[in-house]
Structure 1
Amino acid sequence: MEPDPRFTLANERTFLAWIRTSLAFLAGGIAVEALTLDYFPAAVRTSFSVGMLLMGVLLSSGAALRWLRVERSLRAKRPLPLPLVIPVLSIFGALTAGMLVAFVLQN
């Protein structure tokens, strides 16, 4: 039996929201590398840029897996799976903010 279309469409909207977030990380990683030449040393700039790009890739793949797992749960009438990408995003954000604060306080 097919699930209520509203739930499938809500799952799709959530997927698209995660994709928008991953695109923002990708754009941010490119912007950090291209626009902060005068503010950060090359190693710091590259580290932040690569970290943001990797987070964008991780989020987009995590969004696809999450969409698939939720869709399967809806169709099988099972409980929805826990979102694993949220703790990863939270930890990454906290670590990045902490590193930026430490860098700013050093200079």
Structure 2
Amino acid sequence: MTRSRFPRSVYRTGTDPDARFSLANERTFLAWNRTALALLAGGVALEALGLDLQPDLRLAASLILIAAGVVIPVLAWLEWGRTERALRAGSPLPGSVTSAALAATIVLVGVLVLLGVVLA
């Protein structure tokens, strides 16, 4: 009896790769989720601590961090699926959209915090 695996859109593609590759892909997915939790915590802390920053810029940075903490797991799930399908098909691995999104978020929040310090 064959068990159905979730998500079918991933597991109906190709054949099972070496388990080490699938497990590494899963560890990457879990690392993105830990990063998302840190973004959420950072966004809440930035606003809750009421640091001596320009208030509107502090709020904007907090909201961006919280939004990124919500979006990053979704991107990570999609990236996990694309990577797993590529592994199963023996295709080249896709690029990382999640990395680019995180880098842009960090730059934007950094600029807002810097301005918040300068303009306080």
Shorter-chain TM-score above 0.5: yes
Equivalences for residues 5-20 of structure 1 within 5 A: 5-20=19-34
Identical aligned pairs, as a percentage?
42
For normalisation by structure 2, the TM-score amounts to 0.80
Deviation of the 1:69 alpha carbon: 0.6
Residue type of the alignment partner of 2:102 = L
Q: Which range is displaced more, 76-85 or 4-13?
A: 76-85
Of 73, 81, 94, the residue aligned with 1:81 is 94
Of 56, 62, 74, the residue aligned with 1:43 is 56
The runs of 5 or more residues in structure 2 that have no matched partner are 1-14
Relative to 1, partners in 2 of residues 1:30 and 1:103: Cα closer, same or farther, differing over 3 Å? closer
Report SS of the residue matched to 1:70. Answer: helix
Residue type of the alignment partner of 1:55 = A
Q: State the match for 1:32 in structure 2.
A: 46
Relative to 1, partners in 2 of residues 1:12 and 1:65: Cα closer, same or farther, differing over 3 Å? same
- Distance in 2, Cα, partners of 1:44 & 1:96: 9
Residue type of the alignment partner of 2:92 = P
Q: Does 1 or 2 have the higher relative contact order (CA < 8 Å, sep 6+)?
A: 2
Deviation of the 1:106 alpha carbon: 2.4
The number of residues matched between the two structures is: 106
**What root-mean-square deviation, in Å, do the aligned CA atoms of Structure 1 and Structure 2 show?**
1.5
